[in-house]
Structure formats: structure tokens, C-alpha cells
Chain A
Amino acid sequence: MKDISHLLRVAGIFVLVVAGFLVVRHFMVPKSFGEVGHYRADAVDEIRALKQHYSGDAACPACHKGQSQEKAQGGHRGVRCESCHGALQEHVEQPKSVKPGKPKESEMRSFCGRCHEKSLSKPPKFPQQNLKEHNPGIACDQCHPAHKPQ
């Protein structure tokens, strides 16, 4: 026994480390972890309780009938209102005091360029321009109305 006492001590340390780990694990792992998957189940309710920022397109036509009809006929019919105007839930809740945003004229070329900058990887029929050469310095909506671009 005397000749293996050092080994017993090391084994004891291992047992302590493993036990310590299990204790730490007990307190560190959130209670709801693993209830419905490899994540904290409570996170779902917490996320649900977060403030909603986006309203979705369905909220717009109630007040903005004209623009909605115009957009539905043009090339931007597949683009969500909030893609250009930003998150609108607050505007839906308080239409008078919170006004929707839109791209500034000075930033419009780079804003539109997100989709319309020329690139080989885009389908050839998709409207795209080399923005360095295409009417430099002029805001896009001077020629292409944003709701029904030509």
C-alpha cells in the first residue's frame, strides 16, 4: 500500500477534478438546456418576448394604397417595402409621430448598387449597371422612380 500511495493521491486528485467539474456543470448548465433540443429551451420564450421591429408588407396598403398598387405593377414588386424604408413596426403603431426612413439622395447610388451594380455572377437579364460609368453623380430616382422603376 505504501508503494502505491503516490498513485492513490493522483487518483484522488482526478476524482476531485471530475467531481468539481460535475458540480460546476450542475450550476453552469441552464435549467432548460436540452428540453427540446441542443439549446436552452427558455431562449425561445425570451426571443418571443423581444420587441418586434419589422411589420411586414401586409401592414402597408391600409394607408399607402397608391404606392402599394404602383409597386405591385413594377419591377420592384418582389422587393419588400422595408428593404428600402427600414423597419416599420413603430411607424405602424404610431403613424403620426414616427415617420419611415428612405435612402438619402447622396447615398442613393451605393444603396441601389447593392442589387444593381454590374456583376458577372448575376443573370444577364437582371438590370445592372457599371455605376462608375452610368450617369455618375446623378441620384438613381431622378430617372428611375423607385416604386415603379423603368
Chain B
Amino acid sequence: MNDSYLETLRAALAQVSGFIYPNELELQWSILIVLYPYITGLVAGAFILASLERVFNVKSVKPTYRLSLLVALAFLLIAPLPLQVHLGHPERAFEIFMTPNTSSAMAMFGFVYIWYLMVVLLVEIWLDYRREIVLWSKSETFWPKRLFYKLLTFGVDNISPRSLEIDEKIGRALTVIGLPSAVLLHGYVGFIFGSIKANPWWSTPLMPIIFLFSAMASGIAGVLLFYMFLCWLRDEPIDMPCIDTVAKFFLTALIVAFSLEMLETLQTAYEAEEHFDIIALLVEGKLYFSMIFVQILMGSLTPMFLLGLAQLFDLPEKVRKVFYGASAVLSLVGIFAMRWNVVVGGQFFSKSLRGFTTYKMEFAGREGLLSAIVLAILPLFVLAGLLYLLPPWGERAGKESATS
């Protein structure tokens, strides 16, 4: 052991308070593990919003249907990356498929992921776009794009009413299957945390449900924001009945997620088991800003208040747009804080329940802030690519080219 290591150890120990075990000094699950449930949450939430139109026939949200699917796909493609970067050795990821370990929830997730990506999302998007893909494969002038569409037609350009009707039926059936798959995809993340019985901050059967509803809120907020931004970018009017309905579901998801979290907290406080003292210290101390201020006040109560006002009063369009946009941004930040409070917060206190460690985030390292920012922005680039290749407003363009 060299002197510089001892110096680092001394500096780290100075940040520790109370009594902790030696292996608790360093936080193993870094900001990338915060990012991972955040991204999968956005996927599940966006897909659930898409299913509103398809399965539950909420026609007013149709303008966001395709966008929701593309958002879900863009984020799903990037979702495993934070895990890969955290673990290193991305080549080993394939071993969970080669030699599946059925007793590991983490390993089984690989199958949930691949099922959701390959069977649900890709096929559903393909079926929904097939008509346009066939039309674009004939009308597109830029050859690489035309080739891309040509490949996606799989050599069949039959878009007879009967074939489209069959596509519609299968697409609907896929969404019905996809809904529980999306729930499984994100519920699993909560399940992993909820089943860590050694950690009282995590170990609760409510964890998957809390994760799921906050995921719905974040996914809906994300799609709402993308939709409003794209309308502004394309200089198109925002479909107000659509975003009014989306905002209603957004508010519902927020209320349920917030109520569940508060119920859980209240129950922990009322039961006041032996771990409660350390949790109270955690919430009043290290998590005060990120939990009380960012997650609860800024990320939950303020959006609920703004969305509630829009529901209760007949506000002008302009004000509603500002309220919806602000609520979406605030709750996206708030839900990120929630993931932070769960993942990092749960590692702050010692198993001895008598001390705290600390988390000093690197800036440029593999698990540093910079990696996290890159991984958080990456889905936006994927989404931009998907919007370029499969414009969600393409239905109209497709119809126009069909008639010309």
C-alpha cells in the first residue's frame, strides 16, 4: 500500500460520520445506476402513453402516438449503456443470453429487454409505419434513405386495405401484450431494489409500483415536452385537446406516484423500526435538498399544483402551454432526483445503522458526471435520427404522395 493511497483513504475517512464498515466507504452504484432506471422509466412511460390511444381508444392523444413509440425506442436502445459503462466488459453482456442464470433477476432482465425491444416495440413501429415505408420506398429521392425503406419493406409492397387492416389488428394485439411488457420492464427495476432485504431504504414490496408510476409520469412528461418542442420547431399549432388529455394522465400518474411514496414514508415513520432513526437523519441531512426540495416540492407538488390549476380553471391556451411545459420539466428533474435519492441515498447509511459515508462524483472518469451527461443526451440524438427516418407526422405526407 503506497502513501498516496493512504492519503486518499484519510481524505475519504474525513468525510465519513459515525461508524461504518470498511466495505461501505466507497459507493458502488454511481450516478450511472441513477441514470439507468431513469432511462428505462422514460421508455415504459412513453409506451404506456402510446397504449392509451391504441388499447384504451383515447383518440385525443393520437398526435403523440407515434412520437411516444419513437421516444420509447430511442431511450430503450440507450438504456443498457449506463449498465455496460458501469460494469465494463460490454462483451460479457451477451453471456446472459448464452448461459442464462434463471435465479438472477438481473440476468433474466436481459430477456425482458430483448423481448420488449424485438417483439413489441420494433414490430409495432414497423406495422404502424408499413404503409408509409412502402410509399417512401418508391417516392424517396435520396438513395440511402430509399434503400433503407426498401429494406424495411422486406420485399413486400402490398398495402391493400385488407393487409393494412390485418396490420392494425396485429398492432393492437401487440400493444395489449406490450403493456404488461412495459410494466414488467420497469417494474423489474423497482423489484431489484425492493428485493434487497439488507437495505431498509429499498426493501419494500411497494418499490416496483412506485417506480412504475413515477416512470409513467416521467415518460408522459418527456413525450409532452418533445411534442410541444417539435410543434414549435416545425412551426405547427399545438393540438390543445391532445395536450389537455395528456396533461390529465400526467397529473393522474403524478398523484398516484406521489401518494404511494408518501404512504410508504408515512408507514416507515409510523412503524419507526430500528432503522428509522438513521433514515430520519438521512432525509433531514444528506438528502434534504435532493428529496425535500427537488423531489417533493419542486418535482411533485409544484407540477401537481400547476396541472391542477389547469384542470380546475378555464385558463387561456397560452397559460396552459406554459403550465404544461413547466410541469413536464420540473417533474423530469424531480423524478431524476427520486432515482438519485433511492440509488445513492440507499448507499449513504451503514448497515450498522450508526453512520454515513459520502459520495464524491468524479467529473471525467468512466462513471463520472461527463459520462452521465453524454449517456443522458445520447437518446436525443437517436431520437433525432428516428424522427428523420420515420417522421411521426409522415402519415399526412404518405397520404399526399399516395394521391399524387
A4 contact from B1, B2, B163, Cβ within 8 A:
B163
For the complex formed, measure the closest distance between the CB of A15 and the CB atoms of chain B, giving whole angstroms. 13
| Chain B proximity mask over A75-87: 1 for CB below 8 Å, otherwise 0 | 0000000000000
Contacts of B21 on A, CB cut-off 8 Å? 121
A33-B99, A113-B6 as given contacts; A9 in contact with B166, CB under 8 Å: no
User: In the complex, are the beta carbons of B154 and A9 less than 8 A apart?
Assistant: yes
Say yes or no: B163 contacts A10, CB within 8 Å. Answer: no
Give the complex CA separation of A9 and B158 in angstroms.
Answer: 13
Which one of B98, B101, B155, B162 contacts A28 once the chains associate, using CB atoms below 8 Å? B98
Q: Is B130 an interface residue (CB 8 A)?
A: yes
By the criterion CB–CB under 8 Å, are A7 and B99 in contact? no
CB atoms of B13 and A119 under 8 A apart: yes
Task: Say yes or no: is A29 at the interface (Cβ < 8 Å to chain B).
Answer: yes
Our pick among B99, B154, B160, B162 for the contact of A38 (Cβ within 8 Å) is B99
Q: Does A51 contact B (CB under 8 A)?
A: no
With A111-B1, A120-B19, A121-B20: A25-B158 Cβ-Cβ less than 8 Å: no
Contact of A3 among B97, B101, B163 (CB under 8 A): B163
A29 to B97, CA, bound (A): 10
B170 contacts partner chain A, Cβ-Cβ < 8 Å: yes
Whole-angstrom distance between the alpha carbons of A111 and B3 in the complex?
9
CB-defined interface of B196-234 with A at 8 Å, one 1/0 digit per residue? 000000000000000000000000000000000000000
Chain A interface: which size bin? 20 to 34
Nearest CB of chain A from residue B253's CB, rounded to whole Å = 33
Q: Is the CB of B163 within 8 A of A6?
A: yes
Most chain B beta-carbon contacts within 10 A, residue among A5, A13, A34 = A5
Shortest Cβ distance from B312 into chain A, in angstroms?
Answer: 48
* B residues 151-175 touching A (CB-CB < 8 Å): 153-156, 158, 160, 162-163, 166-167, 170
A114–B156 CB distance below 8 A: no
Query: B154: nearest residue on chain A (CB-CB)?
Result: A9
B interface, how many residues as a size bin? 20 to 34
With A25-B98, A113-B1, A121-B22 as given contacts, are A5 and B6 in contact (CB-CB < 8 Å)? no
A117 to B6, CA, bound (A): 9
User: In angstroms, how far is the closest chain A Cβ from the Cβ of B262?
Assistant: 36
A76 to B187, CA, bound (A): 53
Closest Cβ neighbor of B19 among chain A residues: A121
Chain A nearest CB from B83 CB (Å) reads 20
Complex interface: chain B residues within 8 A of A126 (CB): none
Contact with B along A1-21 (1 / 0, CB 8 A): 011111101100110010001
Q: Report whether A10 and B19 are in contact in the complex, using a CB–CB cutoff of 8 Å.
A: no
Q: Which of A2, A9, A33 contacts B155 (CB 8 A)?
A: A9
The residue in chain A whose Cβ has the minimal distance to the Cβ of B161 is A3
Which residue of the partner chain A has the closest CB to B4? A110
Q: With A4-B166, A25-B98, A38-B101 in contact, do A9 and B1 touch (Cβ < 8 Å)?
A: no
Whether a CB of chain A sits under 8 angstroms from the CB of B93 is no
Q: Chain A 105-139 against B: per-residue CB contact (8 Å), 1 yes, 0 no?
A: 00000110110010111000000000000000000
Interfacial chain A residues near B167, Cβ < 8 Å: 7
B249 at the interface (CB under 8 A from A): no
Identify the closest chain A residue to B21 (Cβ): A121
With A13-B154, A110-B3 already in contact, the answer to whether A21 and B166 are too (CB < 8 A) is no
* A2-B158 contact given A28-B98, A33-B99, CB 8 Å threshold: yes
Q: Which of B2, B22, B160 contacts A110 (CB under 8 A)?
A: B2
Whether A10 and B123, one on each chain, are in contact in the complex, defined by CB atoms closer than 8 angstroms, is: yes
- CA–CA, A2 and B163, complex, Å: 8
Complex CA distance for A50 and B229, rounded to whole angstroms: 62
Determine the distance from Cα of A2 to Cα of B98 in the docked complex, in whole angstroms: 37
**In the complex, chain B residues 120-169 whose Cβ is within 8 Å of any chain A Cβ:** 123, 126, 130, 153-156, 158, 160, 162-163, 166-167
Residues of chain B lying within 8 A (CB to CB) of residue A25: 97-98
Q: Complex formed: what's the CA distance from A4 to B166 in Å?
A: 8
Report the bound CA distance from A114 to B3 in whole Å.
Answer: 10
How far, in Å, is A40 (CB) from chain B's closest CB?
9
Residues of A within 8 Å of B99, CB to CB, are 29, 33-34, 38
Instruction: List residues of chain A with CB within 8 A of the CB of B154.
Output: 6, 9-10, 13
Alpha-carbon gap, A3 to B166, bound state (A): 8
9 pairs, A vs B, C-beta closer than 8 Å: A3-B158, A4-B163, A6-B156, A10-B154, A17-B118, A21-B97, A38-B101, A121-B19, A121-B20
B-to-A contact residues, CB < 8 Å: 1-3, 6, 13, 19-22, 97-99, 101, 118, 123, 126, 130, 153-156, 158, 160, 162-163, 166-167, 170
15 extra interface residue pairs, beta carbon distance < 8 Å, beyond A3-B158, A21-B97, A121-B20? A3-B162, A4-B163, A4-B166, A5-B156, A6-B154, A6-B163, A7-B166, A9-B156, A10-B123, A13-B154, A14-B118, A25-B97, A28-B98, A34-B99, A114-B1
